[in-house]
Copies of this chain bind each other. A is one copy, B any other.
């Protein structure tokens, strides 16, 4: 394992220190428990939008803290859900009197820890709502499993709900909007290489030189199947087809297309994949109204990509375009 770290046990805190220095104008970082908070929190009478999860997916979530997106992020250990006291501290620090919306990616650990945190915060008299996002079509949805994972759609959800909260939409409105986004967003990813969690010291799985894992999760969880590496054209189609079929997205639908790098895939390949995805969508009559291309929800140094499609309505479109000022997304300000 070759990594730019001092000690696997302190990676998250060490990285938070650097992040705090890099973005002192936008963020305040607290360490015990670890929480990343927007610099001007709490914002009076604004719904606090809070998320969190294991570290190693940067910029998610800390990189999305700031005006127009998240009020706070709770970074767990690498690939490990944060603990309830982190979430409770985030709520306490950002509650402006209008309640808090917790955005939780659907993993057992995240759900259970946020659930406990919600109980703690409710006991403190804060109106807390939880929205679970489960946009990964690679995993079969079933009552008898942990269900679908939350992946790329999380970024879009945080941006859109964050914009609504910034405009003064109340907790009921934010929650309803969040559920609408969850209902309309779908993703799928693939991995060309595995990543190595610092405390594990070895790659999470092994792929042959000509194999890729189709339907990979963001913690290196396996997906639908292991298949031979194909051309970019084939890879993009292998992601896009299941995503399109699932909702389904149809001719005439207006969408936001999010082409995401798993971390180790260079931008040149990502743009190349994005171009193919847009062309395939145009061929099916799906209208790409907005796009996001880059490494926004990653798995450490894993090579691979994911595609996320959100079926836009006018309100979501407007909220997507609304100003945002965070380390990782910034426009309109």
Query: A140 near B: Cβ within 8 Å?
Result: no
List A234-279 residues whose CB lies under 8 Å from chain B. Answer: 235, 259, 263-276, 278
Residue interface bits A24-60, CB-to-B below 8 A is 1, else 0 = 0000000000000000000000000000000110110
Which of chain B's residues have a CB closer than 8 A to the CB of A276? Answer: 14, 18
Which of chain B's residues have a CB closer than 8 A to the CB of A267? Answer: 58-59, 63, 295, 298
Verify A18–B275 contact, CB threshold 8 A.
Answer: yes
Query: Whole-angstrom distance between the alpha carbons of A5 and B234 in the complex?
Result: 10
The interface residues of chain A, by DSSP majority, are classed as mixed
Verify B330–A4 contact, CB threshold 8 A.
Answer: no
Task: State the copy count for this chain.
Answer: 2
Query: Whole-angstrom distance between the alpha carbons of A22 and B294 in the complex?
Result: 10
Verify A5–B301 contact, CB threshold 8 A.
Answer: no
User: By CB atoms of chain B within 10 A, which of A15, A16, A18, A264 has the most?
Assistant: A18
Identify which of B15, B17, B59, B293 contacts A18 (C-beta below 8 A): B293
Q: A6-B232, A303-B301 are in contact. Are A19 and B271 (CB under 8 A)?
A: yes
Which of chain B's residues have a CB closer than 8 A to the CB of A56? Answer: 266, 268
Verify B193–A18 contact, CB threshold 8 A.
Answer: no
Query: Whole-angstrom distance between the alpha carbons of A3 and B261 in the complex?
Result: 12
Q: A193-B2, A235-B4 are in contact. Are A271 and B212 (CB under 8 A)?
A: no
Residue of B nearest to A332 (CB): B333
User: By CB atoms of chain B within 10 A, which of A4, A16, A263, A273 has the most?
Assistant: A4
User: Nearest Cβ distance between residue A210 and chain B, in whole angstroms?
Assistant: 8
**Listed A/B pairs (8) with beta-carbon separation below 8 Å:** A14-B232, A14-B275, A18-B259, A22-B271, A56-B268, A63-B267, A264-B301, A295-B295
- Give the top 5 A-B pairs by smallest Cβ distance, nearest first: A18-B275, A18-B271, A58-B267, A18-B274, A4-B269
